[in-house]
């Protein structure tokens, strides 16, 4: 059977697209935070803030807020489902499911969402994500069947299709995963294909085709920008593209991706961190230092920003500054893996 052809050429736009101005994003976050602080007894304002934080890519803060909300009366069904999704999804560039099994609270969150009248399709997705995280042959088969039934009802549903691609990848059926992606791009059209291109990039990466994966990740970012998708998705696509372009020594392309991202998300420390990485790999130390300093200004509590500044200091031969900055990063480490990585680097450069 012939596969649908996928056009990777630049697309012409028949109508102007709506772009959310960065100033609007800043104002929205300020408004949500002010509303939540002013109305502490009304959960809907904190729910709205948590959703906005998740869309901005501030997943740790969103998860903490949702955990406080999930047992309160008066919440909507979205709250436990968004919490379940955040917990099941790693706070990383490619949004891959955690290796660890689902937490014991997960079933309770999904049951709460169901009791609150959650959309059946959203419940199926949450259960499929839980099955994917569990990772057994039986759970993956259950997730596959659940999502295939949904796609039979609506073949153009991008969210279900992308999730099914991840399930098929977990089942080591790359051919089925690629067929799902290609068919989905054909059905979705140019206006909704960004998430499918990102899934394709992740599939190419799993097949160790880094250059093609990088191109698909860049194509994903361009389409996600066109679609005005949430910041978290833009960050995932850009992070994957920049990482792969740097690994394949395509420094100019990495720089273009970082530049495009900063234009859309000038208040994202993650975006500035990507810019700093591209400048560091290009041996542009002053530019790398300025970008990393901007990232630290925007995200002073993120250990990755301190760690990056330490790497730049090391490249410049300033071991004293690197040790001091890594010590700060270690104090802010969020989990055991991060703590171990920073400790190891600190040990090596301090000669202990």
Q: Whole-angstrom Cα distance, residue 256 to residue 245?
A: 10
Mean pLDDT for 201-219 is 95
pLDDT of residue 11: 39
Residue 223: pLDDT band by 50, 70, 90 thresholds?
very high
- Asked if pLDDT for residue 12 goes beyond 70, the answer is no
Residue 314 CB partners (closer than 8 Å, separation 6+): 322, 349
Residue 304: pLDDT band by 50, 70, 90 thresholds?
very high
Residue 26: pLDDT band by 50, 70, 90 thresholds?
low
- Asked if pLDDT for residue 8 goes beyond 70, the answer is no
> Is the Cβ–Cβ distance between 225 and 46 less than 8 Å?
no
Residue 20 CB partners (closer than 8 Å, separation 6+): 228
- Asked if pLDDT for residue 242 goes beyond 80, the answer is yes
Is residue 1 classed exposed, middle or buried when 0-12, 13-18 and 19+ CB atoms within 10 A define those classes?
exposed
- Asked if pLDDT for residue 92 goes beyond 60, the answer is no
Mean pLDDT for 134-148 is 95
> Is the Cβ–Cβ distance between 206 and 174 less than 8 Å?
yes
pLDDT of residue 19: 30
Cross-strand bridge partners of residue 43: none
Which residue in 317, 280, 315, 316 sits closest to 295, CA to CA? 280
Residue 14: pLDDT band by 50, 70, 90 thresholds?
very low
């Amino acid at each position: 059977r012939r596969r649908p052809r996928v056009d990777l050429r630049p697309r012409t736009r028949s109508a102007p697209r709506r772009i959310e101005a960065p100033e609007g994003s800043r104002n929205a976050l300020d408004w949500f935070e002010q509303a939540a602080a002013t109305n502490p007894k009304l959960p809907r304002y904190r729910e709205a803030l948590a959703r906005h934080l998740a869309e901005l890519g501030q997943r740790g803060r969103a998860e903490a807020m949702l955990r406080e909300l999930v047992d309160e009366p008066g919440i909507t069904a979205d709250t436990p489902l968004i919490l379940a999704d955040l917990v099941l999804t790693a706070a990383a560039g490619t949004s891959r499911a955690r290796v660890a099994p689902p937490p014991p609270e997960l079933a309770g969150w999904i049951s709460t969402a169901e009791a609150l009248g959650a959309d059946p399709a959203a419940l199926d997705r949450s259960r499929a994500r839980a099955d994917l995280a569990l990772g057994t042959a039986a759970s993956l088969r259950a997730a596959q069947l659940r999502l295939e039934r949904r796609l039979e009802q609506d073949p153009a549903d991008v969210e279900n299709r992308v999730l099914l691609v991840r399930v098929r990848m977990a089942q080591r059926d790359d051919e089925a995963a690629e067929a799902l992606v290609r068919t989905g791009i054909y059905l979705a059209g140019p206006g909704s294909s960004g998430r499918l291109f990102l899934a394709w990039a992740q599939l190419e990466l799993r097949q160790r085709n880094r250059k093609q994966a990088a191109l698909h990740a860049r194509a994903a970012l361009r389409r996600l920008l066109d679609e005005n998708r949430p910041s978290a998705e833009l960050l995932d696509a850009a992070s994957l593209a920049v990482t792969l372009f740097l690994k394949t020594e395509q420094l100019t392309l990495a720089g273009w991706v970082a530049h495009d991202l900063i234009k859309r998300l000038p208040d994202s420390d993650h975006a500035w961190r990507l810019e700093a990485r591209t400048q560091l790999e290009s041996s542009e130390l002053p530019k790398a230092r300025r970008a990393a300093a901007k990232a630290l200004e925007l995200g002073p509590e993120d250990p990755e920003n301190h760690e990056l500044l330490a790497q730049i200091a090391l490249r410049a031969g300033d071991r004293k500054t690197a040790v001091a900055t890594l010590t700060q990063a270690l104090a802010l480490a969020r989990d055991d893996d991060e703590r171990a990585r920073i400790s190891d680097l600190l040990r090596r450069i301090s000669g202990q």
